[in-house]
Structure formats: structure tokens, C-alpha cells
Amino acid sequence: MRSLILSFFLAFSLFTCQEIPPVITPLEPGGPNVNVKRRILIEEFTGVRCVNCPAGTVEVLNLRELYQDQVISVGVHAGSFAPPYPDSKYDFRTAEGDAIINLMGKPLGYPSAVVNRKLYDGEFDLQLGRSQWAGFIAQELAAAPVVDLKLSKTYNATTRVLQVTIDTEVLGTLPQEDIRLSVMLAEDQIVDVQLTPDGKKSDYSHRHNLRDMLTAFDGDLIGGELKSSKKSSRSYTFTLPANWVDSQCSIIAFAHLGGDKLDVLQVIEGKIL
């Protein structure tokens, strides 16, 4: 009988001590809206006379490579380093870029960028140094998107007429009623003069350059539509100038706050071709 009881307790202890692995739910960027990717906008402020800016562009490209379509960038040529050289083929400055840098606040040093137009805890302004970009992008990717954007377009390569429609849909609680939509046009890989640590180069490839905007520089108000119907649709028409390479051009649309806070809620990018 004693041996029978010992056998019973031995079997019971082996059963009760069996390790049951925990159930791990993978974390998805975007929280509960797992079917909607959270995407981040980084606006890089640059200029052809800025010797340190090429290093900033390399960092932006590395972040785009790391996060793929969840990081969208635009290069804004504005400020004291932006005027072209006498031998420059292009003047990358735009009226919208000048207005945006005044809205964001001019950088104290370069390279500089704004991540989702957000003022982060411990920071005094929106402009961030290169070493800060990756950390704040990761922080933003962990947040759930409160709106979703869809981009559709038609483009006639003969007439160079572009028609763009941006649909915005509410997914969560909007932080305020003043919600705006901004739509930028950017052109990639424009070869022209740039100051670098190795001197002035005439064959430098300028990346993701702001060329124009289809909205006001500070966005078109869509908050009323989103509040009443949870959806908004805006359409725009634009004719590409002859000196733009349409195969290198893209549309960047983003919903963001207006007023004292400028936080970007969601962004989307689509190639013209």
C-alpha cells in the first residue's frame, strides 16, 4: 500500500509541475487597428549650402530602409542655407517651404528635422537633431492611428495633368475639432550642386524634395466633416511643370492638427507613375 501511495504522489507531482508555455500576443504597430499601418512623416530641413545636411539625408534614407513604407520623408529647402549657387541648375526653395519652416520654427543647427510635427516631452521646439530621429519615430510607431488615409490618382503623361483624391476616415477619438489635410508634391533624385564635407559637388542627388503643395501650406480644414460624418474626401488637380521628372514624383498627404498643436495623425505616399 505504501509503495502505491508513493507512486501516486510521484505521478501527481510530475503532472502538476509540467511547464505550460505562456501565450504571447505579438505587438503590432497601430495597437488595436491592426489592419491600418501607423505611418510617420519626417520633414528634413536642408539646403544646398549646408555642409552637414548630406549626413542628415543619409540618416533619413536609413530610417526609410529600416521601416519601409511606415516612414515617409520630404526634404524642405528653406532657411539661410537654401539659396542656390550661381552654378546651380535648380532653385529648390518654395513659398510653401518658407512658410512651413516659419510655422515649425527655424532650426538652431543642421541637420534638423521634424518628426510628425510633434513637440515631445523634454524638448523646447519641434526641430530635432539627427541623433533623436530614430527614437521618436519608434515612439510614434507604437501609437494607435486615429485616422486612416486612402490616396487615389489619375495622371495623363501627355498633358501632365494629375488628379488626386484623398479620403480620410476616423478610426478612434479625435484629439480636437481642428483637423487639417495637407498634400505635398515631392521629386526624388534631382542631380544638382550641393556643398559636402569634401567640397562642392555638382553631381549630388537631392532626395524627396518638396516641389509644391496642392493645399494651403498649413492644410485645408476637414475637421467639421470628420466630426459630422467620420469621413472626408478632397480632390485636387495639378499640371506638372515640364522640367519635373514625373517618374520620380510622388504625392504625400497627411492629416494633422491645426492651431497651437500641429501633430500629424497619419500620412500616406503614392507615386505619380
pLDDT (average), residues 241-248: 98
Asked whether the predicted pLDDT for residue 273 surpasses 50, the reply is: yes
Q: For position 35, what pLDDT does the model report?
A: 81
In sequence order, what E strands does 66-116 have?
Answer: 71-77, 112-115
Asked whether the predicted pLDDT for residue 103 surpasses 50, the reply is: yes
In this structure, are residues 134 and 69 in contact, taking their beta carbons and an 8 Å threshold? Answer: no
CB atoms inside a 10 Å sphere around CB 171: 18
Asked whether the predicted pLDDT for residue 87 surpasses 60, the reply is: yes
Q: How much of the chain is in helix, strand and coil states, percent to nearest 5?
A: 25, 35, 40
Q: DSSP letters along 213-256, please?
A: ESS-TT-EE-HHHHHHHSEEEEEEEEE--TTS-GGGEEEEEEEE
pLDDT (average), residues 135-143: 97
Asked whether the predicted pLDDT for residue 184 surpasses 90, the reply is: yes
pLDDT (average), residues 96-116: 97
pLDDT single digits (tens) 23-41: 322 333 334 455 899 999 9
H-type alpha helices, 121-201: 130-141
* Whole-structure pTM value: 0.87
Q: What is the DSSP letter of 27?
A: P
Average pLDDT, rounded, for the chain:
90
Asked whether the predicted pLDDT for residue 163 surpasses 50, the reply is: yes
Q: Based on C-alpha coordinates, what's the Rg of the chain?
A: 24
pLDDT (average), residues 265-271: 98
pLDDT (average), residues 249-267: 97
